Amino acid sequence: MADKIRVAVAGAAGRMGRAAVRAVAAAPDMTLAAALGRERGVGQDAGTVAGTAPLGVTLTAELADILDAKPDVLIEFSPGAAAAEHARAAIPAGVRPVIGATGIGQQDLDGLAALCGAKRVGAVVAPNFAVGAVLMIEFARQAARHFPNVEIIELHHDRKRDAPSGTALRTAAVVAAARGSAPAPAVKEEETITGARGGRAEGIRVHSVRLPGLAAHQEVIFGGPGQTLVIRHDSVSEESFMPGLMLAARKVRSLTGLVYGLEKLLEL
């Protein structure tokens, strides 16, 4: 039997990190090697913090402890700046990062890609690990060739800090590339309340909603003469992201560079 994949989880006390710890613990081909957090849960068993059985791995606040555990893969759900910092330390040590954190800028992505290339170490960065969300973006790409008029509404829980979401920004980029030039506006718009028409990403209107009771949801609304097309995805719990995350954790070991987007691993 092949050795199990040794996985470390950063941001292990957060909502996504706790779900990742549970998913790793349940995967027959993986073992939790280390867990990184900030204040909450530090010094406790990572399994207990995640709401599952104790795993014999203590949640630490020190990145050095993670690297000392010699994981094969680092699942990264720390905030954007910290995620990039952790990845920059992991790659030279031969640890392959799988990053789901939002807020990583293009400069950081370019730097990580160069580092992966120099060290011949794989990495995966994805704004969304839900397979359904990736398919939503792919379907929107196809629709954009026929419906150039489009707006995006993304809805999340009230604890999400960034707006718009990384998924909305990715959707806008994909749709804009597929549709080509944006259609001319039907009228000259006037906002009586600043921001009422949302922000713009790649020339596409994006609207963000933050409310308790929501999880992660997005609609891509296309309009044409006499018809509309709505493509919607709903994640109702963190478990929706785990199949895609586990796929990335398995496939990243065979990569020798940085891959952006789960769709590359799904071969869409």
Residues 148, 179: Cα–Cα separation, whole Å: 6
Contact in structure between 136 and 220 (CB atoms under 8 Å): yes
Say how many residues make up the chain: 268
Q: Which of 156, 207, 217, 233 is catalytic?
A: 156
Main-chain phi, psi angles of 198, to 5 degrees? 80, 180
CA angle 45, 47, 48 (to 5 degrees): 70
Q: DSSP assignment, residue 182? A: P
Please identify which of the residues 4, 119, 160, 264 carries the catalytic annotation: 160
Side-chain half-sphere of 103: how many Cα atoms within 13 Å?
A: 15
Rounded to whole angstroms, the Cα distance separating 168 from 85 reads 24
Confirm whether 207 is a catalytic residue: no
Is 160 an annotated catalytic residue? yes
**Positions marked catalytic:** 156, 160
